[in-house]
Chains A and B, each alone.
Chain A
Amino acid sequence: EAAVTQSPRNKVTVTGGNVTLSCRQTNSHNYMYWYRQDTGHGLRLIHYSYGAGNLQIGDVPDGYKATRTTQEDFFLLLELASPSQTSLYFCASSEWGEQYFGPGTRLTVL
């Protein structure tokens, strides 16, 4: 079965802090995605990539950078974290429509 892992699982930082969320997939999928999940909004796409070195902007990209270093690894960067970025973050991978999700990272920005 497809495997997507995320680290850390929980993170607390302060306003203005620098945070990197990591995602690794062992599915050999080309597509990888970063979402945030907030009550009442479902999942919203932040950034996605269709291969190493590629980056595409999603629906809510402000305040986030991302980098896809290899086919397996996709990182989400918050360089100046703000309380509005407190959320549950999910990574996913896919070859086409069927996306496989990681367990999530809960980020709290104080």
Chain B
Amino acid sequence: GEQVEQRPPHLSVREGDSAIIICTYTDSATAYFSWYKQEAGAGLQLLMSVLSNVDRKEEQGLTVLLNKKDKRLSLNLTAAHPGDSAVYFCAVSASSGSWQLIFGSGTQLTVMP
């Protein structure tokens, strides 16, 4: 079945710097890609999602890139600020009918003032 690897597990950047998180997946039938943010003590909040026909999506300081050839998904936070500190998860689905998501193991992002 689908395997998702996420890296790095921990990422520390200074305020104003970019932060990049990468996920790789194994199933070429994967059709739906998403990123979630989890703040301390809270549930997961959907940040952005793309279908497989989209290579790049930008919203509010976030950029999602999808490289289907290399089976790689990335999230780029441009000009990170301390409020971005959280755990970030990628999640993918083959859209086989159940929309079952397979999650990466998470990246703890710390943005230092």
CA distance A4 to B103 in the complex (A): 20
Number of interface residues of B (CB under 8 A): 22
Q: B101 within 8 Å of A by Cβ? A: yes
Binary flags per residue of A70-110, CB closer than 8 Å to B gives 1, else 0: 00000000000000000000101010111111111000000
Known pairs A98-B34, A98-B49, A103-B43; A48 contacts B89 (CB<8 A): no
Q: Contacts A43-B89, A56-B98, A98-B34 given; indicate if A103 touches B49 (C-beta within 8 A).
A: no
- Looking at chain A's contact residues, is the secondary structure mostly helix, strand, loop, or mixed? strand
Interchain residue pairs with CB less than 8 A apart (19):
A31-B98, A40-B105, A42-B6, A42-B103, A43-B44, A43-B91, A48-B100, A50-B98, A56-B98, A58-B100, A90-B44, A92-B44, A97-B32, A97-B95, A99-B101, A101-B43, A102-B43, A103-B42, A104-B43
Given known contacts A56-B98, A101-B44, what 5 new A-B pairs fall within 8 Å (CB)? Answer: A41-B105, A42-B104, A42-B106, A44-B103, A96-B99
Interface size class on chain A is: 20 to 34
Check: A52 CB closer than 8 A to any chain B CB: no
Closest to B105 in A: A42
B73 to chain A, nearest CB (A): 14
Residue A45 lies at the interface, judged by CB distance under 8 Å to chain B: yes
> What B residues does A94 contact at CB under 8 A?
99
Q: Does B46 contact A (CB under 8 A)?
A: yes
Residues 33-58 of chain A, each 1 if its beta carbon lies under 8 Å from chain B, else 0: 00000001111110010100000101
Q: Is B45 an interface residue (CB 8 A)?
A: yes
- Distance in angstroms from A28 CB to nearest chain B CB is 16
A91–B17 CA distance with the chains assembled, in angstroms: 34
| Contacting pair A97 B101 (CB below 8 A) | yes
Contact A42 B46 (CB under 8 A): no
